[in-house]
Structure 1
Amino acid sequence: MASLDVANVSNITTDQSALLALKAQISYDPRNVLSNNWSIGTFVCNWVGVTCDSRHQRVTVLNLSYMGLVSTIPPHMGNLSSLLSLNIENNSFHGSLPNELSHLYNLQHLSFGFNNFNREIPSWMGMLSKLQNLSLFGNSFTGTIPPSLSNISSLQVINLSYNQLLGSIPSSIFNIYNLRRIDLSDNMLSGPMPSIISNMSSLQIINLRGNNLSGPLPKETFDNLPSLQQLQVSYNQFSGQLPSTLFKCKRLQYLSFMNNDFTGSIPSEIGNLIMLTELYFDNNNFEVYDEQRKQFCSLENISTVDHFTNGIGGR
């Protein structure tokens, strides 16, 4: 028993050292939260933003969100081997993400949203095999989306929105069976929307808004999304006709095609979407007929239909 206690002291000491290394990197702490609280005179599990496992006395949660901190992330953070959740949202962290973070094998939630990171998303993130939520939105990440993310079979949420990502969307991302939400909006992604050829029964939200994606929406994709609730592809360069298979997604509540180059008429199968509440498809080249307008308005739950500005016009 004595040896186990020694091991626990050693581990929590390692965690303390890692957090003190982070504190040393912080160049601005406007409310003096960490400078006044993170002290070797106080047990690390009582520090602000720190939560420990009561049994093993290891740091499992680090939440420094909304503190206004300016800092980089030191490599020592990779020593927090029991960490389950790391949240530094709404600060001014910057620089690169050190390779040592790949050692956080138990990590389930990673949120770096609304900071100032401006390097590439590292491929080692694919080694975080237990990760469920990856939120890197609101930074200036560059480069391409690493295909290695598709190695994380536990992923449920991928939010890479509001960055400066380039290149195409890796088709392998849509092989993550447990994925519930993918948000790649407001980047500079190009190329087609990948086809989804396997059943993605958990996927509820796809947001590709505000990129440079082009080509038609792949027909086979919508045969494999039985739980889809939101599809947002506005402000891209998609073209062609809407596939009638889209309207097999009977749980759709929000649907936006606006500001693309879609053509043709809206398939009559849109009447299948009895749960639809918002529909946007203005600023395209659709043919919109009076009987279709009536059909949209007859959808029982719909509150918003925005469709009157199309290149071909209606009659």
Structure 2
Amino acid sequence: MMEHSRTNCKLVLFKFLHGFILLCMSTCLESTTLCNLTLLGNESDRLALLDFKKRITVDPFNAMSSWNHSIHFCSWVGVSCHRSTKRVLMLNLKSKKLVGSIPSSIGNLTYLTGINLSDNNFHGEIPPEMGRLQSLQYLNLSHNSFHGKIPTNLSQCTQLRLLDLKANRIMGSIPNQLSSLLNLKYLWLYGNNLTGTIPPWIGNFSLLSGLHLGRNNFQGSIPNELGHITGLEEFLVHLNDLSVA
């Protein structure tokens, strides 16, 4: 009986140790996988930033000089990262007098929550790949020389709180796809070459505080639906060809 009891104890201990070893191996594998994914993500971010740097043709303040291999990209001028994951969260190069364009690889910075390139001389079109930045809350491309149309893919950035494209050369109408941006607090399109009518669906933006549509080529009437925005504090539509319905 004693021998049988010892055998059972050894069997239970063996099963326990076997299970513990399997659990440790599984945890290590999961940890290694997460680590590898993080490293891959970090490399993707680094390459996207370097691609962005390649598109800069004029940099009078040498803002991009720190963007090199001698320091981690999270320490580059204008780049802010998550403290633990080291993924890029913010790109802020405001008022650096930069001349260049935005590459499509900007869409690979998938953890971005904010972009501020205002008061520079960026040109070309706004890449539709920005629609991949589904965590983006703040997009300020104002006071540049962007042309072309507003990308319809921005409709996928449903977390946007601010969309500021004022003082560029953007043309075409406001895409109906942007009706999905229900979290917008500020929609600033002032001073472009936008045409068409003011979409009535903007009246569904219940959180909207600022709406700047002045200095464009909008026609038709001001939609009554805009009266539904009870928190609207700034409403600029002057210097268009508008009428009151």
What is the TM-score with the length of structure 2 in the denominator? Answer: 0.84
| The one of 163, 166, 173 aligned to 1:134 | 163
Matches within 5 A, 1:229-240: none
Matches within 5 A, 1:4-153: 4-34=34-64, 36-153=65-182
Over the matched positions of the two proteins, sequence identity in percent amounts to: 33
**Aligned partner letter, 1:30:** P
How much has 1:176 moved relative to structure 2? 1.2
Q: Is the 8 A contact 2:148 2:169 kept in 1?
A: yes
Deviations 1:134-161 (A, max 9, x none): 0000101111111222211111100000
**Aligned partner letter, 1:209:** H
Deviations 1:114-172 (A, max 9, x none): 00011111211111111110000010111111122221111110000011111110111
Summarize the Cα distance change of 1:118–1:197 in structure 2 as closer, same or farther, 3 Å threshold: closer
**Aligned partner letter, 2:55:** Q
**Aligned partner letter, 2:90:** V
Q: Is the 8 A contact 2:202 2:225 kept in 1?
A: no
**Which residue of structure 2 lines up, in the alignment, with residue 170 of structure 1?**
199
Q: Is the 8 A contact 1:149 1:173 kept in 2?
A: no
Which of the two has higher C-alpha Rg? 2
Q: What SS does the corresponding residue of 2:43 show, helix, strand or coil?
A: helix
In structure 1, the gaps of 5 or more residues are 219-315
Q: What SS does the corresponding residue of 2:179 show, helix, strand or coil?
A: helix
**Aligned partner letter, 1:133:** L
Matches within 5 A, 1:208-223: 208-214=237-243, 216=244, 218=245
Deviations 1:26-48 (A, max 9, x none): 111112220x2000221010000
How much has 1:198 moved relative to structure 2? 7.0
Separation in 2, partners of 1:211, 1:111: 23
Summarize the Cα distance change of 1:52–1:168 in structure 2 as closer, same or farther, 3 Å threshold: same
In structure 2, the gaps of 5 or more residues are 1-30
RMSD: 1.3
Deviations 1:48-95 (A, max 9, x none): 000001022110000011011111111111000000000100111111
Deviations 1:212-262 (A, max 9, x none): 102x3x5xxxxxxxxxxxxxxxxxxxxxxxxxxxxxxxxxxxxxxxxxxxx
Deviations 1:95-119 (A, max 9, x none): 1112211100100000000000111
Q: What SS does the corresponding residue of 1:172 show, helix, strand or coil?
A: helix
What is the TM-score with the length of structure 1 in the denominator? Answer: 0.66
Separation in 1, partners of 2:221, 2:63: 46
Where relative contact order (Cα < 8 A, 6+ residues apart) is larger, the structure is: 2
Separation in 2, partners of 1:85, 1:184: 22
**Which residue of structure 2 lines up, in the alignment, with residue 224 of structure 1?**
none
**Which residue of structure 2 lines up, in the alignment, with residue 195 of structure 1?**
224
Q: What SS does the corresponding residue of 2:57 show, helix, strand or coil?
A: coil
**Which residue of structure 2 lines up, in the alignment, with residue 222 of structure 1?**
none
Q: Is the 8 A contact 1:126 1:151 kept in 2?
A: yes
Deviations 1:173-220 (A, max 9, x none): 111111111100111111100012774232222111111102x3x5xx
Q: Is the 8 A contact 1:189 1:211 kept in 2?
A: yes
Q: What SS does the corresponding residue of 2:47 show, helix, strand or coil?
A: helix
Separation in 2, partners of 1:43, 1:159: 34
Separation in 2, partners of 1:128, 1:15: 19
Q: What SS does the corresponding residue of 1:51 show, helix, strand or coil?
A: strand
Separation in 1, partners of 2:154, 2:229: 22
Structure (1/2) with the larger helix percentage: 2
Separation in 1, partners of 2:39, 2:75: 15
Q: Is the 8 A contact 1:26 1:70 kept in 2?
A: yes
**Aligned partner letter, 2:136:** L
